[in-house]
Amino acid sequence: MTIEEAKKKALELIKNSKTCVLATVDEGGYPNMRALLNLEHDDLKTIWFSTNSSSTKIKQAEKNEKAGVYFFNEAAFQGLRLTGNIKVRRDQEAREKLWRPGFEMYYPKGANDPDYCVLELQVKKGNYYEGFEKAEFEIN
């Protein structure tokens, strides 16, 4: 599997994933994971999430920006690990980019609800595997 093939397959895996796992690092240095809806990505460069402002992941991202995301298909034995730096975005552009119909259920005030905010993972490295083949790559 060439790096180009791995990147192409990685993008397909993201497109076919309903959820993914986001890891941030807690105050003690331990990796903390949680499943999140796979909402939006810009190529393999940026992975976007929305969450509530009071969540643990926001607190952790604000103290330590080192993070990772993992997409996988258990049945097909495919997995994609991306690592990079995560930013908390509260600006209008990010709020609207991630807003989806139905989010009013969780954020009654809409995209400007103070409890709604966005996480932007700026990917630096990737690792895609399928069966026993894998490829590592860097993202510029």
Cβ-based nearer residue to its own copies, 22 or 118:
22
Could you give the CA distance from residue 50 to residue 76 in angstroms, rounded to a whole number? 28
In the complex, the smallest distance separating the C-beta of residue 92 from its own copies, rounded to whole angstroms, is 27
Could you give the CA distance from residue 39 to residue 118 in angstroms, rounded to a whole number? 11
Contact flag: residue 108 with its own copies (CB under 8 A): no
Could you give the CA distance from residue 97 to residue 77 in angstroms, rounded to a whole number? 31
In the complex, the smallest distance separating the C-beta of residue 133 from its own copies, rounded to whole angstroms, is 14
Task: Give the 3-state secondary structure of residue 59.
Answer: helix
Among residues 3, 12, 16, 31, the one that binds its own copies under rule CB under 8 A: 31
Among residues 1, 8, 11, 26, the one that binds its own copies under rule CB under 8 A: 26
Among residues 70, 88, 97, 103, the one that binds its own copies under rule CB under 8 A: 70
Q: How many other CB atoms sit within 10 Å of the CB of residue 32? A: 15
Cβ-based nearer residue to its own copies, 12 or 77:
77
Cβ-based nearer residue to its own copies, 3 or 37:
37
Contact flag: residue 35 with its own copies (CB under 8 A): yes
Q: What is the end-to-end Cα distance of the chain in Å, rounded?
A: 20
Measuring CA to CA, how many Å separate 92 from each of 41, 65, 82, 101? 18, 21, 26, 17
Q: Which residues of this protein are in contact with its own copies, per CB under 8 A?
A: 18-19, 21, 23-26, 28-35, 64, 66-68, 70, 72, 74, 79, 81, 83-84, 125
